Structure 1
Amino acid sequence: MTESSTPASSALAPETTGAEPTGAAIRRGPFRVGERVQLTDERGRMNTITLEAGGAFHTHKGFLNHDAVIGLPDGSVVTNTAGHQYQALRPLLSDFVLSMPRGAAVVYPKDAGQIVTMADIFPGARVVEAGVGSGALSISLLRGVGDGGYLHSFERRKEFADIARGNVETIFGGPHPAWRISLGDFQEEVVKAEEPGSVDRVVLDMLAPWECLDAVATVLAPGGVWINYVATATQLSRTAEAIRADGRFTEPDAWESMVRGWHLEGLAVRPEHRMVGHTGFLLVTRRLAEGVAPLIRKKRAKTEFSEEDLNAWTPESVGERPVSDRKLRRAARDARAGRQDEA
């Protein structure tokens, strides 16, 4: 079953030429009714508001009229009724991803950046992804492939697809011409939707990517990149061993990234006490030409999984928190509301 975004106009976007990339117009120019603005006070505390004519942002220290922000250039400083100042900026992609409505855990910006770069997501690329979640990675992939590219996203749950669609259309100001989203199991649906060897890149964010070996090998072009995002070391190990045993891919590489901010104040320059540590592992491999055998690694230890291991791959066993249907419906409503605010 396939669901495609339907065209919609955006009240936010000014008149543009046909050459204007999707979503670019609403990222520049003065603040407009319906768009999100990030307000940062003197203490560095942030709040994100959606501008409404006649609206107001209230705190215990006075209120700020939205009309005082509408029409100002990005990067302005505004003052509320009590004299407190705010720095007004458009939220960056990283800000939007971490605050948008969600039903599933999002792919963090640090990992999305790694995926776009290390999977070589280029303008015009044909990409398929599975495990859409709330659409965070889809947004980065769409920015990578551009209007002339192609991204086909597969999601098993309609609720997640609705949330992702709302978030994607919010940040781009409407449907993206390169995006198609389908409901169903990736390994079954992708071989029906995509011609053999027609896909440049495959991106999987799912519990058991090793189950998709045949499907990926079928649709991925020779030399194409397959990148996986998994949460645990046991998932990472089994995926790597399955790829090696399959024989149609190069030797997989795996890594994780960690981000630690720094405190900068005069001579008090030191690492922050908190950091974004482990969020997931990335594992990348490439499709070999048909009939070509992979190079055999020397001194590689053999690894076997017991029947107990093979039956242990459940969301609960790898630490995924169950998401209630009620929470998903609420997140989907919030995502749709964000899309409608900007329509």
Structure 2
Amino acid sequence: RGLRRLRGLEHRARLRDRLRRGRGRDPVDRADRRPSGLPHVGHAGGPQCRGRARAHRVPYGGTPRAGCRGRVVTTRRGPFVVGERVQLTSIRGRMNTVTLAEDGAFHSHRGYVDHADIIGKPDGTVVLANNGEEYLALRPLLKDFALSMPRGAAIVYPKDAAQILALADVFPGARVIEAGVGSGALTMWLLRAIGADGSLLSVERREEFATIAQANVETFTGERPANWTVTLGDFAEVVPAATEPGSVDRIVLDMLAPWDCIEAAADALAPGGVLCCYVATVTQLSRVTEAIRATDGFTDPEASETLVRTWHVEGLAVRPDHRMNAHTGFLLTARRLAPGAVPLEKLRRASKVSYSDEDVEAWTPGALGERVMSPKRARKAVRQAVAAADAQRPDAADSQGSGPVE
């Protein structure tokens, strides 16, 4: 252990010396240190731009190209380029996401890091601040962005999003409908799962939530996906008008009262299609389960919840962490039966399958877990999400923009 510590100290000393030697170089010398094929944009010989240019995407496995200041670059591998988002993690585990600019710098109460020290470096590079503080530079993952993006409604956490994709068997090319877009976290997972050949229809009642979701998706992807449609209104009214009966592969309901949408979901789903409901409380779980059974058009619902517990592993000190991602919600899945098919009945079922008026009155929005948000807080979340998207969106003259919500 002492030898490893000594080697680590020597490595830090070499990095500090290298940083001090690089401080005295001019921008041309710094550009010469970049790998070939990555010009120092903004100086003589490099491409110039006015304002914000159109976002471009690098194909998976392709070679990224440098962009102009303000341009959004979406890459998956290769060295960091101008316009790309980078996640800087301190030695204490604090994460900050920055967009690389030629003359930019990341400032914190523990010093600053020049963007020029990151541009041209490979993913997973350790960079030093002016005071010697170390930061790990990585491309941000979707799970990190989902947990830190501006929120209107509560998000679907990564552990639940992964289960939804698995239990609902969301596949490339699928036609998917989600009700309750919220802040757009699950939307981004669904868009990634269905691919370019699939389609996603998101139905949302509240306009401010739809605006936040659109801004968050554009911030992460750099553009508005062409196969994604956001519609304002009630699920039971929107879906019959927007889809043909039996034409949808998967439906995900993340809403306060999913039992009101079971009939519309049954009409839209193709035989064998999957209905997935995400609810927060046991009262919701019980009621939506009985509502699905009452239609006689689905297999018997399967209910589950996902608990994730991380572990502390250091030598022989191996134990569960003191904190964990415990209950966030329940998942309920059922498959659509063919027309005229009769569902198989279980031999045993709970004795009480109906609800009294007192039960219904007890299901208030607060009791069912609806998040209460004041108009002031909703407007603030909208401003934050739109500002983040505008910071990386092309100017109005060169792009189509996010488009109005239908």
TM-score (norm 1): 0.92
Using a 3 Å threshold, how does the CA distance of structure 1 residues 30 and 326 change in structure 2: closer, same or farther? farther
Find the counterpart in structure 2 of residue 244 from structure 1: 293
Find the counterpart in structure 2 of residue 3 from structure 1: none
Find the counterpart in structure 1 of residue 368 from structure 2: 318
Corresponding letter in the other structure for 2:234:
D
SS at match of 1:249: coil
Distance 1:25 1:79 in 2: 25
Distance 1:316 1:93 in 2: 30
Using a 3 Å threshold, how does the CA distance of structure 1 residues 325 and 177 change in structure 2: closer, same or farther? same
SS at match of 1:28: coil
**Between the two proteins, what is the percent identity of the paired residues?**
59
Deviations 1:241-279 (A, max 9, x none): 111111111100000010000112121111100000000
Find the counterpart in structure 1 of residue 208 from structure 2: 159
Counterpart contact for 1:260–1:275, Cα < 8 Å: yes
Distance 1:213 1:189 in 2: 13
Distance 1:134 1:124 in 2: 24
SS at match of 1:202: strand
Find the counterpart in structure 1 of residue 55 from structure 2: 11
Moved more, 311-320 or 210-219: 311-320
Distance 1:57 1:9 in 2: 23
Distance 1:35 1:211 in 2: 43
Find the counterpart in structure 2 of residue 196 from structure 1: 245
Find the partner of 1:210 among 259, 262, 280: 259
Moved more, 323-332 or 109-118: 323-332
Find the partner of 1:253 among 302, 305, 308: 302
Aligned residue runs from structure 1 range 297-312, under 5 A: 297-303=346-352, 304-312=354-362
Aligned-pair RMSD on alpha carbons? 2.2
Aligned residue runs from structure 1 range 127-206, under 5 A: 127-206=176-255
Deviations 1:163-213 (A, max 9, x none): 100111121110112211100001111010000000000000001111111
SS at match of 2:212: helix
Find the counterpart in structure 2 of residue 92 from structure 1: 141
Corresponding letter in the other structure for 2:369:
G
Distance 2:265 2:73 in 1: 33
Distance 1:74 1:87 in 2: 9
Specify the structure having the higher radius of gyration (Cα).
2
| Structure 1: runs of 5+ lacking an equivalent | 1-7
Aligned residue runs from structure 1 range 218-297, under 5 A: 218-297=267-346
Corresponding letter in the other structure for 2:278:
Y
SS at match of 1:311: helix
Corresponding letter in the other structure for 1:11:
A
Counterpart contact for 1:127–1:151, Cα < 8 Å: yes
Find the counterpart in structure 2 of residue 68 from structure 1: 117
Using a 3 Å threshold, how does the CA distance of structure 1 residues 50 and 266 change in structure 2: closer, same or farther? same
Counterpart contact for 1:130–1:206, Cα < 8 Å: yes
Distance 2:131 2:333 in 1: 54
Distance 2:194 2:58 in 1: 23
Find the counterpart in structure 2 of residue 28 from structure 1: 77
Counterpart contact for 1:202–1:216, Cα < 8 Å: yes
Corresponding letter in the other structure for 1:120:
D
Q: Find runs of 4+ consecutive structure 1 residues off by over 3 angstroms.
A: 8-18, 32-35
Deviation of residue 76 (structure 1)? 1.1
Corresponding letter in the other structure for 2:177:
V
Deviation of residue 38 (structure 1)? 1.3
Counterpart contact for 1:30–1:71, Cα < 8 Å: yes
Distance 1:14 1:301 in 2: 54
Using a 3 Å threshold, how does the CA distance of structure 1 residues 101 and 316 change in structure 2: closer, same or farther? same
Moved more, 25-34 or 188-197: 25-34
Corresponding letter in the other structure for 1:258:
L
Is 1:334 matched with 2:384?
yes
Counterpart contact for 1:26–1:173, Cα < 8 Å: no
| Structure 2: runs of 5+ lacking an equivalent | 1-51, 63-71, 394-406
Distance 1:275 1:263 in 2: 12
